[in-house]
């Protein structure tokens, strides 16, 4: 059902946990399946210098969260925003159709974290 890469990121998630004093936080949940994802970012020189996540959800939700943090760490904010759910699923070697909504959660949580950061610096 799941690719080897999904299973790797589920069993050994990268960047799991919270950041102290994050520059931005994005939190999203899916009421249908109950998955909840929270992404914390640190920004330096307009790049994501550090990122962590906490996910309450299935194997796909955890794997998607983990791979997303790896994909965007070090990217500029604008480049990070270009990553979409299809990119995330492809990086994992695909997801079953009924689990594609998990990659959407990661894309949305990341967008919210960046928006949260930009709101803070513009106020």
Which residues are known to be catalytic?
Answer: 33, 102
Q: How far apart are CA 41 and CA 93, in angstroms?
A: 25
Structure tokens at 49: 């210098």
User: Rounded to whole angstroms, how far apart are CA atoms 49 and 73?
Assistant: 6
């Amino acid at each position: 059902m799941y690719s080897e890469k999904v299973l790797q990121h589920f069993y050994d998630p990268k960047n799991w946990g919270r950041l102290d004093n994050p520059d931005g936080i994005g939190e999203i949940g899916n009421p249908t399946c109950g998955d909840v994802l929270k992404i914390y970012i640190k920004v330096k020189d307009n790049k994501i210098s550090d990122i962590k996540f906490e996910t309450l959800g299935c194997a796909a939700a955890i794997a998607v969260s983990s791979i997303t943090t790896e994909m965007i760490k070090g990217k500029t904010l604008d480049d990070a925003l270009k990553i979409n759910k299809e990119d995330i699923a492809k990086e994992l070697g695909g997801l079953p159709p009924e689990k594609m909504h998990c990659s959407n959660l990661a894309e949305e949580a990341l967008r919210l974290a960046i928006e949260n950061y930009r709101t803070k610096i513009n106020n």
